[in-house]
């Protein structure tokens, strides 16, 4: 890495981690986006949305960025706003991770809450309505509107390019769907580069993007809750399959991966990893499966990795964690298997 002068110059070139492999040569690779600044993938699209707004004259010197966010997009926009001299207001709820909110404030963002203290329900629709109204009332403001911004997906084109620099092909792209930008932007660029991967989207049980009954869920930054509008960044024309994973299974996976490997992944990534591990032997022999880990588990120490928080919400399930650990043991990649043998 050459010497850089801006934090956003550090975006990208995130590593690939082989989490699991079968005896038939199928392997599950994790694209570790926590290695980006802010510890998340969404700084990629935050930068692209701002640069696009500048190119189109929607943001000018001293302008004001407004966005509804559960945290990671807000963190990315806070960095970009600080670098480029913009004011940034994040419209948030108390469902968001506290450390994400603290970090946005630390970087100069103004936080506007749509719910009272103690109300930790997900309020996506209320957030977006308020962000839109605030931007409309301010002549210098620009609502980045991540769910319906075409450059959301464009921001992830580099993920596909990086993947094909590191592996010969991606057969299956399996990842969580929030705004949809990371999965469908990566899938679009893979197709453009001659790699038409089979695309599997993962959402929480309770999310409505793939149909079914809506309801509450605790996975952060992913899914579409009842009452919220599914944004245009969710490109159903690219979706081959949509699956749902419960909070219990997603969080058990994140916790088991941390305990077994020392790798901290967020709850939504836990959902994707659970979906992949559960079906690993169903995929064609020799397949390369990639899951985009959109953020790290360090942001969820007071939620997913806190036994009391989990127990209070009836999410703590040691048996489910044991099931995930058993899958991790069953599918240990050859390289790690040899290391374990040497250690013994």
Q: Which two tokens stand for residue 176?
A: 């969580």
pLDDT digits (tens, 9 = 90+) for 133-190: 999 999 999 999 999 999 999 999 999 999 999 999 999 999 999 999 999 999 999 9
Average pLDDT value for residue range 112-135: 89
Range in 39-43, 119-123, 338-342 with the lowest mean pLDDT: 338-342
pLDDT digits (tens, 9 = 90+) for 252-277: 999 999 999 999 999 999 999 999 99
Q: Reply yes or no on whether 31 is catalytic.
A: no
pLDDT digits (tens, 9 = 90+) for 184-234: 999 999 999 999 999 999 999 999 999 999 999 999 889 999 988 899 999
Higher pLDDT, 258 or 115: 258
| pLDDT confidence tier of residue 120, bands split at 50, 70 and 90 | confident
pLDDT score for 338: 66
The fraction of the chain above a pLDDT of 70, given in percent, is: 98
Average pLDDT value for residue range 1-21: 95
Using left for φ > 0, alpha for ψ between -120 and 50, and beta otherwise, residue 154 falls in alpha
Average pLDDT value for residue range 63-86: 96
Q: Which two tokens stand for residue 281?
A: 């032997």
| pLDDT confidence tier of residue 343, bands split at 50, 70 and 90 | low
pLDDT score for 1: 66
Task: For residue 344, give the 3-state DSSP assignment.
Answer: coil
pLDDT digits (tens, 9 = 90+) for 96-110: 888 999 999 999 999
Whether the Cβ atoms of residue 295 and residue 36 lie closer than 8 Å to each other: no
For residue 58, what are the CA distances in angstroms to 52, 53, 219? Answer: 9, 5, 33
Distance CA 95, CA 105 (A): 16
Domains and CATH numbers, the chain: 7-36+156-328 (3.40.50.1100), 43-150 (3.40.50.1100)
pLDDT digits (tens, 9 = 90+) for 284-301: 999 999 999 999 999 999
pLDDT at 334 over 80: yes
| pLDDT confidence tier of residue 342, bands split at 50, 70 and 90 | low
pLDDT at 316 over 90: yes
The pTM of the full predicted model, rounded to 2 decimals, is 0.94
pLDDT score for 247: 98
Report how far Cα 278 is from the mean position of its chain's Cα atoms.
20
pLDDT score for 70: 83
pLDDT score for 116: 84
- Token pair 């309801």 in the structure block, residue: 215
Strand order in the sheet with 172-176: 16-21, 27-32, 288-293, 172-176, 198-204, 241-245
pLDDT score for 278: 97
On average, the pLDDT of the chain sits at: 95
Q: Which residues pair with 88 in a beta bridge?
A: 65
| pLDDT confidence tier of residue 117, bands split at 50, 70 and 90 | confident
Average pLDDT value for residue range 85-98: 92
Task: Say which of 31, 42, 100, 244 is annotated catalytic.
Answer: 42
Task: For residue 142, give the 3-state DSSP assignment.
Answer: strand
């Amino acid at each position: 890495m050459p010497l850089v002068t801006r934090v956003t110059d550090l975006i990208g070139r995130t590593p690939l981690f082989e989490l699991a492999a079968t005896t038939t040569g199928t392997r599950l690779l994790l694209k570790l986006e926590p290695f980006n600044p802010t510890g998340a993938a969404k700084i990629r699209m935050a930068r692209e949305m701002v640069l696009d707004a500048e190119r189109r004259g929607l943001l000018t010197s001293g302008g004001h960025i407004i966005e509804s966010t559960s945290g990671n997009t807000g963190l990315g926009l806070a960095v970009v706003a600080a670098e480029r001299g913009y004011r940034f207001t994040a419209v948030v709820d108390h469902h968001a991770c506290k450390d994400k909110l603290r970090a946005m404030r630390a970087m100069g963002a103004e936080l506007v809450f749509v719910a009272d203290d103690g109300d930790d329900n997900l309020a996506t629709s209320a957030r977006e309505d308020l962000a839109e109204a605030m931007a409309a009332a301010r002549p210098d403001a620009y609502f980045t509107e991540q769910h319906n911004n075409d450059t959301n997906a464009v921001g992830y084109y580099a993920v596909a390019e990086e993947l094909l620099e590191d592996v010969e092909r991606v057969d299956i792209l399996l990842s969580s769907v929030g705004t949809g930008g990371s999965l469908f932007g990566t899938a679009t660029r893979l197709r453009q580069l001659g790699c038409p991967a089979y695309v599997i989207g993962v959402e929480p049980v309770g999310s409505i993007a793939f149909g079914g009954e809506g309801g509450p869920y605790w996975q952060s930054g992913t899914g579409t809750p009842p009452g919220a509008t599914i944004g245009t960044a969710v490109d159903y024309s690219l979706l081959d399959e949509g699956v749902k994973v419960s909070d219990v299974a997603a969080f058990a996976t994140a916790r088991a991966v941390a305990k077994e490997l020392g790798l901290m992944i967020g709850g939504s990534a836990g959902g994707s990893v659970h979906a992949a591990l559960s079906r690993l032997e169903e995929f064609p022999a020799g397949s390369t499966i990639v899951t985009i880990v959109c953020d790290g588990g360090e942001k969820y120490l007071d939620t997913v990795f806190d036994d009391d928080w989990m127990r209070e919400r009836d999410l703590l399930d040691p048996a489910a964690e044991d099931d995930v650990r058993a899958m991790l043991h069953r599918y240990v990649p050859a390289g790690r298997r040899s290391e374990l043998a040497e250690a013994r």
